[in-house]
Chain A
Amino acid sequence: DGVAVLPAPQNLSVQSTNMKHLLTWSPVVVPGEIIDYSVEYQGEYESLYMSHIWIPSSWCSPTENPECDITDDITATVLYNLRVRATLGSQTSAWSTLKHPFNRNSTILTPPGLEVSNDGFHLVIKLEDLGPQFEFLVAYWRREPGAKEHIKMVRNGGVPVLLETAEPGAAYCVKAQTFVKAIGRHSAFSQAECVKLQGEALSL
């Protein structure tokens, strides 16, 4: 086993947005050399029942970049320990472990992208495709005083969805938020996007 002479990677942190989780760290620099990194993880089960077990990450054992997409490894809503070490030939650094375990329920949920279109009779929307874990709550209303707000749950993004058979010439507004059942959280609402049937989309 190589003697640990390389410095261990520092400043480990996880940036998580919309259930995509990226582990990053400060690169280990040895002039003129390419450093490899290995990332390993441990779910709450492993840390509770078999704490000596660490699992090589799906995509970064090894990797040359000082970052690792751990989305495919974080598959349950439990705490995950993460660690990284550097390797140069037969030299390996000590492991550096993420200071605070990561739970995917802390991911940042952004309002979804939204396209509103119409063909003069139908109000149609297309939501940003954020992956299978995302559902959408869509609110829409006729842009007139006292109009009632309608709610519709949309299971998938990326495909056009008919909201309503609309009245020609009327103006409608639409806004949406994401909902992730796996973590029981939803995003803020997007900006309302308004369209006048047979007219151009108006941004508020």
Chain B
Amino acid sequence: LKTLHLGSCVITTNLQEMRNGFSEIRDRVLAEDEIIDVRILRKMVSLQDTEPAGQCCLLRHVLRLYLDKVFKNYQTPDHHILRKLSSLANSFLTIKKDLRLCHDRMTCPCWEEAMEKYSRILSHFEELKPREAVVKALGELDILLRWMEEAE
């Protein structure tokens, strides 16, 4: 388990297990992404480029995006991919619960910078057609996991 430091919000999570699970399906998910010159999770809106105090808020909103709009809207007949995505989604749910606890303890404030970055991420997501956005966001789990790893 890894410990993530997001400002004064500290949580532990099974990043390596998530990384292992995603690496098993990564190539197949990426192969479905035909929009190659667009990115949703761009460097300038990354967790690392965000004030530590706002990192928890940004991550919480991005996880909510994945839980509300990505995992549930991706259909596949492939049971292996289904299992790996279920594992990721339930791990994200666990992280989101932990971030919620930080929010309740006032250690997950949402200020302008984090909200502005999240709205940019959301607009990148919504510029794409629904299916394209879902596939691209799944392909970018690599980036999101790296953001979290760098928050160790």
Residues of A within 8 A of B (CB): 43-46, 48-50, 55-56, 58, 61, 73, 75-78, 181-182
Give chain A's interface secondary structure class: loop
Other than A75-B21, A76-B14, give 11 A-B pairs with Cβ distance below 8 A: A43-B87, A45-B67, A45-B86, A45-B90, A46-B89, A49-B67, A49-B72, A56-B79, A61-B79, A76-B87, A76-B93
Report the tally of A-B residue pairs with Cβ distances under 8 A: 50
5 contacts between A and B (CB under 8 A): A43-B89, A45-B89, A45-B93, A58-B83, A75-B90
A44 and B1 contacting across the interface, CB-CB below 8 Å: no
Contact residues of B between 70 and 119, Cβ < 8 Å to A: 71-72, 79, 82-83, 86-87, 89-94
B12 within 8 A of partner (CB): yes
A45 and B71 contacting across the interface, CB-CB below 8 Å: yes
CA distance A181 to B91 in the complex (A): 14
B83 and A76 contacting across the interface, CB-CB below 8 Å: no
Closest chain A residue to B12, Cβ basis? A181
B17 within 8 A of partner (CB): yes
Count B-side interface residues using an 8 Å CB cutoff.
20
Write the nearest CB–CB distance from A37 to chain B, whole angstroms.
16
B68 and A182 contacting across the interface, CB-CB below 8 Å: no
Contact residues of B between 15 and 67, Cβ < 8 Å to A: 17, 21, 67
**Which residues on the B side are within 8 Å of A77 (C-beta)?**
94
B93 and A44 contacting across the interface, CB-CB below 8 Å: yes
**Which residues on the B side are within 8 Å of A45 (C-beta)?**
67, 71, 86, 89-90, 92-93
**Which residues on the A side are within 8 Å of B93 (C-beta)?**
43-45, 48, 76, 78
Write the nearest CB–CB distance from A86 to chain B, whole angstroms.
20
Known contacts: A45-B67, A49-B71. The answer to whether A55 contacts B86 by CB under 8 A is: yes
A181 and B94 contacting across the interface, CB-CB below 8 Å: no
**Which residues on the B side are within 8 Å of A43 (C-beta)?**
86-87, 89-90, 93
**Which residues on the A side are within 8 Å of B1 (C-beta)?**
181-182
CA distance A49 to B96 in the complex (A): 14
Write the nearest CB–CB distance from A94 to chain B, whole angstroms.
22
Write the nearest CB–CB distance from A181 to chain B, whole angstroms.
4
Write the nearest CB–CB distance from B32 to chain A, whole angstroms.
19
A55 and B12 contacting across the interface, CB-CB below 8 Å: no
